[in-house]
């Protein structure tokens, strides 16, 4: 898998550059990260030479020849980190100096959010309602001084563009998935990239998939403590502790763990080959899972992945804070970005998404099975019991037989409608699916 992952993106510095040597740009960490990646890529590109019959090597550096991108990346990371670091800081100093006046204007910016809403007078309203659609998935860690204002801006922006979906805003950044026509989503991306607080975002930060406004029942925008619910105070365990890397050296299976940070029902229908997929129901259980399984990660190199990358930002920071791993990596852009580039790569099955589609397909593999007859099946539906919120894999044949609940307990309740509360109000209830599953599993390799 390393040979495929290596071509995605690289952000790596050798051990001789200490964290203390890096400039303290907490509010512009992602900008520093972007400049460093650009500098690294330009350095590698400068070593590229046209291949010949006598010399098929693609890169030359320090008197050595390299045929594989992984080899030149590793060489530059280990031997030229100081140069990369120096050029990066010099470029960043120039950018911050030129941008100082703009930063000051941002701090004194008017609370009039209408200036951040795009003009759609030239766009026929039908183009915001009808036509080809898509769903966007994105996140951005950045310091938001006024999350409430950003929240209101997002509400107005989405309503103006007829978008549906979910957007979480916090002091640490923004995380969202929205659906609408392609005209509307393109306007949304432009509005996001033009906002002064989110200027560190780039077009490639928005992952796209087929869909539209119909993929969500409504629009939900709110201010939260965290942009991804982990249950750990972001002021204590910050995403800034995680080194964003989409490159992992070619290590033996004994030294490397490929860790799926998602919930069990996500990894059940799709995952990377030979991964460790924790049997947890919520990401907020992940810190407890790490604590319970610390020995599993001791002296290992861990490559973490999730849907779009956001859970890995927090999860890798938490794992690194335990100081038991040799190194911790994360898959840049998550599974979504990986599958866009490698649909026939090492990820098999469907990609679970948190909207009414439940899953999107990049390959034809089916790795899960029907809850009742065990035939290959990976199309989720909600449990038919009114007061259960679990997802169930029940094939067409079994559903026609009335097997539409997530477990026998719920199936019995479905057949006996007298169990519904007399006041007619529905309520959430733990069923056999959750009661029989340990909250925090103890895993082995």
Residue 419 CA, chain-centre distance (Å), reads 40
Determine the Cα–Cα distance for residues 82 and 40; give it in Å rounded to an integer. Answer: 11
CA-based nearest residue to 275, from 216, 349, 325: 349
| The predicted structure's pLDDT at residue 233 | 60
Determine the Cα–Cα distance for residues 293 and 295; give it in Å rounded to an integer. Answer: 6
Token duo for residue 79: 């031997």
Average pLDDT (192-198) is 91
| The predicted structure's pLDDT at residue 354 | 86
| The predicted structure's pLDDT at residue 433 | 73
Which range among 42-46, 196-200, 250-254 shows the weakest confidence by mean pLDDT? Answer: 250-254
| The predicted structure's pLDDT at residue 313 | 84
Q: What is the pLDDT of residues 342-389, one digit of tens each?
A: 888 889 999 999 888 999 988 889 999 999 999 999 999 998 887 788
SS3 label, residue 169: strand
What beta strand segments (E) does 294-428 contain?
Answer: 301-305, 327-330, 347-349, 351-352, 359-360, 380-382, 391-393
Burial (CB < 10 A; 0-12, 13-18, 19+), residue 400, is exposed
Residue 235: CB atoms within 10 Å: 9
Determine the Cα–Cα distance for residues 217 and 212; give it in Å rounded to an integer. Answer: 11
Confidence of residue 423 (pLDDT cuts 50, 70, 90): low
How big, in percent rounded to 5, are the helix, strand and coil portions of the chain? Answer: 40, 15, 45
| The predicted structure's pLDDT at residue 177 | 95
Higher pLDDT, 130 or 97: 130
Which range among 202-216, 264-278, 407-421 shows the weakest confidence by mean pLDDT? Answer: 407-421
Confidence of residue 440 (pLDDT cuts 50, 70, 90): confident
| The predicted structure's pLDDT at residue 388 | 80
CA-based nearest residue to 443, from 251, 238, 285, 237: 285
End-to-end CA distance of the chain: 18
Higher pLDDT, 155 or 426: 155
Q: What percent of the chain has pLDDT over 70?
A: 77
Q: Is 388 a catalytic residue?
A: no
pLDDT at 251 over 50: no
Sign, Cα dihedral of 374, 379, 385, 389: positive
In sequence order, the 6+-apart residues with CB closer than 8 A to the CB of 117 are 153, 156, 157, 160, 191
pLDDT at 204 over 70: yes
Confidence of residue 16 (pLDDT cuts 50, 70, 90): very low
CA-based nearest residue to 15, from 304, 246, 326, 255: 326
- Average pLDDT over the chain, rounded to whole? 80
| The predicted structure's pLDDT at residue 117 | 92
| The predicted structure's pLDDT at residue 10 | 32
Q: What is the pLDDT of residues 219-248, one digit of tens each?
A: 999 999 888 877 666 555 544 444 433 333
Query: What are the CA-CA distances from residue 17 to residues 79, 80, 319 (Å)?
Result: 11, 10, 22
| The predicted structure's pLDDT at residue 65 | 86
Give the active site residue among 158, 215, 306, 407.
306
């Amino acid at each position: 898998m390393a040979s495929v992952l290596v071509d995605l993106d690289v952000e790596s510095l050798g051990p001789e550059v200490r964290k203390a040597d890096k400039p303290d740009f907490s509010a512009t960490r992602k900008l520093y990260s972007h400049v460093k990646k650009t500098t690294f890529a330009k350095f590698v590109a400068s070593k590229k030479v046209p291949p010949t019959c006598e010399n098929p090597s693609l890169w030359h550096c320090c008197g050595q020849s390299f045929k594989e991108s992984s080899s030149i990346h590793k060489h530059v990371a280990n031997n030229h980190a100081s140069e990369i670091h120096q050029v990066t800081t010099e470029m960043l100093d120039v950018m911050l100096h030129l941008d100082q006046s703009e930063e000051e204007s941002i701090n004194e910016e008017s609370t009039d959010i209408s200036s951040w809403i795009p003009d759609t007078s030239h766009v026929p309203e039908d183009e915001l309602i009808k036509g080809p659609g898509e769903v966007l998935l994105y996140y951005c860690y950045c310091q938001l001084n006024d999350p409430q204002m950003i929240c209101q801006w997002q509400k107005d922006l989405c309503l103006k563009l007829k978008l549906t979906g979910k957007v979480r805003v916090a002091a640490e950044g923004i995380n969202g998935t929205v659906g609408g026509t392609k005209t509307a989503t393109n306007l949304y991306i432009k509005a996001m990239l033009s906002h002064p607080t989110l200027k560190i975002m780039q077009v490639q930060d928005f992952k796209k998939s087929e869909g539209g406004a119909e993929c969500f029942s409504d629009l939900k925008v709110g201010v939260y403590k965290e942009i991804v619910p982990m249950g750990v105070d972001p002021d204590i365990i910050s995403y800034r502790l995680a080194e964003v890397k989409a490159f992992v050296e070619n290590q033996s299976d004994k030294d490397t763990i490929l860790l799926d940070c998602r919930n069990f029902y996500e990894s059940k229908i799709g995952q990377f080959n030979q991964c460790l997929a924790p049997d947890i129901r919520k990401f907020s259980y992940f810190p407890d899972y790490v604590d319970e399984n610390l020995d599993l990660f001791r002296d290992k190199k861990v490559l973490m992945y999730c849907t779009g990358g956001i859970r890995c930002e927090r999860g890798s920071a938490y794992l690194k804070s335990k100081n038991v791993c040799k190194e911790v990596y994360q898959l840049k852009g998550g599974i979504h970005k990986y599958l866009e580039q490698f649909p026939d790569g090492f990820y098999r099955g469907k990609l679970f998404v948190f909207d009414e589609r439940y899953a999107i397909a990049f390959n034809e593999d089916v790795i899960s099975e029907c809850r009742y007859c065990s035939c290959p099946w990976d199309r989720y539906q909600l449990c038919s019991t009114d007061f259960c919120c679990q997802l169930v894999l029940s094939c067409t044949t079994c559903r026609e037989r009335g097997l539409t609940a997530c477990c026998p307990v719920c199936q019995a309740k479905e057949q006996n409608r007298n169990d519904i509360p007399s006041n007619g109000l529905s309520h959430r209830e733990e069923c056999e699916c959750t009661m029989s599953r340990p909250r925090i599993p103890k895993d082995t390799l």
